[in-house]
């Protein structure tokens, strides 16, 4: 079992992607055979998360975007920022990150900033007084075998090519004092949404499907 530090080191080095692939395949086999007791979560942004490990501020997940994802209709928008630094390695397909520049604009805003407070399977979307505009600063595309990092607090969107699945192994390290954020309607209100947690049978099936993609590279 590779630790967070082991995975971080291998992703940073970028010289032995086969180690990352083989480790993920072993994890997926454990999930499929129910030797690792976890349940997949369908994220509101259209991907499935397998929460492999969480130790203190560090988390390890496998993220999978299906070839035909359900229509994403977030209650705010797909533009968001994490309270944690993300380091991700693409195992299959391509991931496109659009980095967003957010500017304070209380007089003529396009968006309101919402704080996202997660408690179990429920996300509380808390409307703040912060009013902003948003514009694309950079678009980055990362293919299988490539890695990328997203800093805590940086607004972005992450998408895949239509009809093309993608899989990543993602490391997250929480940053004290930061909150997950999302951009939503200026006239919106605070609300709650529930994430869809799969049962053990569906999780095992997903793990097998994801493993087939990872094995293809």
> How far does Cα 120 stand from its chain's mean position?
16
pLDDT at 44: 85
pLDDT at 165: 96
Helix or strand holding residue 6 (H, E): helix 4-13
pLDDT at 98: 98
Above 70 in pLDDT, residue 72?
A: no
Above 90 in pLDDT, residue 210?
A: yes
Q: pLDDT tens digit string along 149-200?
A: 999 999 999 999 889 999 999 999 999 999 999 999 999 999 999 889 999 9
Mean pLDDT value across the chain: 95
Tell me the mean pLDDT in the region 68-81: 84
CATH of domain 44-197: 2.60.120.10
171 in Cβ contact with 88 (< 8 Å): yes
Above 70 in pLDDT, residue 71?
A: no
Two tokens, residue 115: 């704080």
Q: Exposed, middle or buried by CB within 10 Å (0-12, 13-18, 19+), for 112?
A: buried
Q: pLDDT tens digit string along 82-106?
A: 999 999 999 999 999 999 999 999 9
For residue 214, CA distances in Å to 17, 68, 113, 125, 196 come to 12, 17, 36, 34, 24
Above 80 in pLDDT, residue 69?
A: no
Tell me the mean pLDDT in the region 34-56: 93
How large is the greatest C-alpha to C-alpha distance in the chain, in angstroms?
56
Two tokens, residue 2: 């590779």
């Amino acid at each position: 079992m590779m630790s967070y530090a082991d995975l971080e080191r291998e992703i940073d080095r970028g010289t032995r992607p086969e180690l990352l692939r083989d480790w993920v395949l072993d994890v997926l086999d454990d999930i499929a055979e129910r030797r690792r007791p976890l349940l997949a979560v369908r994220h509101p942004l259209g991907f499935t998360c397998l929460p492999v490990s969480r130790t203190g501020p560090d988390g390890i997940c496998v993220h999978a975007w299906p070839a035909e994802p359900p229509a994403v209709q977030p209650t705010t928008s797909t533009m968001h920022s994490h309270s944690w630094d993300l380091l991700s390695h693409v195992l299959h397909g391509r991931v496109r990150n659009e980095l967003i520049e957010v500017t304070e604009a209380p007089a003529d805003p396009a968006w309101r900033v919402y704080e996202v407070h997660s408690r179990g399977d429920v996300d509380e979307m808390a409307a703040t007084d912060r009013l902003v505009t948003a514009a694309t600063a950079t678009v980055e595309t990362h293919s299988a075998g490539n890695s990328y990092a997203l800093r805590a607090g940086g607004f972005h969107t992450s998408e895949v090519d239509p009809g093309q699945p993608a899989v990543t192994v993602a490391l997250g390290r929480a940053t004290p004092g930061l909150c997950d954020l999302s951009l939503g309607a200026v006239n919106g209100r605070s609300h709650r949404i529930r994430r869809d947690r799969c049962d053990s049978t569906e999780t095992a099936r997903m793990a097998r499907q994801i493993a087939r993609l990872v094995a293809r590279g």
